[in-house]
């Protein structure tokens, strides 16, 4: 593969894979024609690989809309972020959180602003679909690592779409490398108990994902799946590919005392 200079993701995302990119060379195919990521989130792997062709998808429509805004008009988004930085305060955060923005650039800048100043970059909405995460401790709306012009250039090589993972995986075949990072667990390998969040990603979704992976592999796609390092997942993917256990540091716990090393499982099919 060609040497590329990775870009820093502009969103913080729960379960994001920034920690995984250091050893990424060993976990991707030696060559591929197109990169596909059905659970885009913060896009850490995409921004590290910077493929020439990509399909980037997520069921979160606001997330994909934000990427599309950066793709097409990053200057407007950045200009609005400067305004958010100038006005940022606790009172302003909650005012902005409750506002309904209409223009695409305004909505994208709002999404980024809330992501950077809310608690731990968490994305959560109530039953009415309203973002309801409290303000966090961060005050930086603009970051030294921001490079929206280069991010926009990278995204112009990708098709961005909001849809279910099964639809995205259905187009994967020969020459494609697919990275899958589903939202899989609430609490795992801390006490040996695995609980799936039925509202976000149920066990039925896990099975549906596995079945979609099997079909895509049969069509010739190379696939890597991140998932919980748990016996239920190892049984689910038995015989599909080799399994590699990788370690990360948990950063989403409310108390630093509860944060610790967590192992995750990678299923690699080539």
CA 224 to chain centre: 14
How many Cβ atoms from other residues are within 10 Å of residue 142's Cβ?
Answer: 16
Q: How far is CA 63 from CA 67, 86, 101, 108, 230, in A?
A: 7, 24, 14, 8, 29
Per CATH, the homologous superfamily of domain 18-59+163-268 is Vaccinia Virus protein VP39 (3.40.50.150)
Report the sign of the C-alpha dihedral through residues 53, 174, 165, 242, in that order.
Answer: negative
Band (pLDDT 50/70/90 cuts) for residue 200 is confident
Q: What is the mean pLDDT of residues 240-250?
A: 81
Q: What is the mean pLDDT of residues 187-214?
A: 72
Closest CA to 79 of 148, 21, 130: 148
Q: What angle do CA 183, 50, 267 make, to 5 degrees?
A: 40
70 Cβ contact list (under 8 Å, min separation 6): 10, 77, 108, 148, 151, 152, 155
| Residues 194 and 232 sit within 8 Å (Cβ to Cβ) | yes
What's this model's pTM, rounded to 2 decimal places?
0.90
Q: Dump pLDDT digits (tens) for 3-28.
A: 789 999 999 987 667 667 666 677 78
CA 74, CA 96: separation in Å to the nearest integer?
A: 20
Q: How far is CA 48 from CA 9, 19, 45, 209, 234, in A?
A: 9, 11, 5, 24, 27
Backbone phi, psi, residue 245, to 5°: -95, 125
In 11-95, beta strands by DSSP E? 34-37, 54-58
Closest CA to 23 of 269, 185, 264: 264
Band (pLDDT 50/70/90 cuts) for residue 195 is low
- Please tell me the predicted confidence (pLDDT) of residue 192: 46
Q: What fold, for 63-149?
A: Adenine-specific Methyltransferase; domain 2 (1.10.1020)
Backbone torsion region of residue 135, taken as left when φ is above 0, otherwise alpha when ψ lies between -120 and 50, otherwise beta: beta
- Please tell me the predicted confidence (pLDDT) of residue 191: 42
Domain spans, the chain: 18-59+163-268, 63-149
Backbone phi, psi, residue 249, to 5°: -105, 125
Q: Dump pLDDT digits (tens) for 103-149.
A: 999 999 999 999 999 998 889 888 888 999 999 999 999 999 999 99
């Amino acid at each position: 593969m060609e040497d590329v200079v990775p870009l820093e993701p502009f969103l913080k995302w729960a379960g994001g894979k920034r920690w995984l990119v250091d050893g990424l060379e060993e976990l991707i195919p030696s060559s591929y024609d197109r990169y596909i990521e059905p659970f885009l989130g913060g896009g850490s792997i995409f921004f590290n690989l910077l493929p020439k062709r990509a399909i980037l998808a997520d069921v979160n429509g606001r997330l994909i809309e934000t990427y599309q805004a950066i793709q097409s008009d990053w200057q407007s988004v950045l200009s609005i972020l400067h305004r958010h930085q100038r006005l940022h305060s606790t009172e302003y955060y909650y005012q902005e959180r409750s506002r309904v923005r209409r223009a695409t650039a305004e909505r994208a800048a709002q999404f980024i602003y809330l992501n950077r100043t809310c608690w731990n970059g968490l994305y959560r909405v109530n039953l009415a679909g309203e973002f309801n995460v409290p303000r966090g401790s961060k005050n930086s709306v603009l970051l030294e690592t921001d490079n929206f012009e280069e991010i926009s250039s990278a995204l112009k090589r990708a098709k961005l779409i909001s849809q279910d993972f099964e639809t995205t995986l259905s187009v994967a075949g020969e020459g494609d490398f697919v990275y899958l990072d589903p939202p899989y667990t609430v609490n795992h390998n801390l006490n040996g108990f695995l609980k799936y969040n039925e509202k976000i990603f149920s066990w039925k979704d896990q099975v549906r994902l596995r079945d979609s992976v099997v079909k895509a592999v049969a069509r010739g796609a190379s696939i890597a799946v991140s998932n919980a390092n748990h016996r239920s997942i190892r049984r689910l993917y038995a015989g599909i590919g080799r399994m590699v256990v990788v370690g990360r540091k948990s950063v989403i716990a409310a108390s630093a005392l509860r944060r610790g090393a967590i192992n995750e499982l990678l299923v690699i099919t080539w």
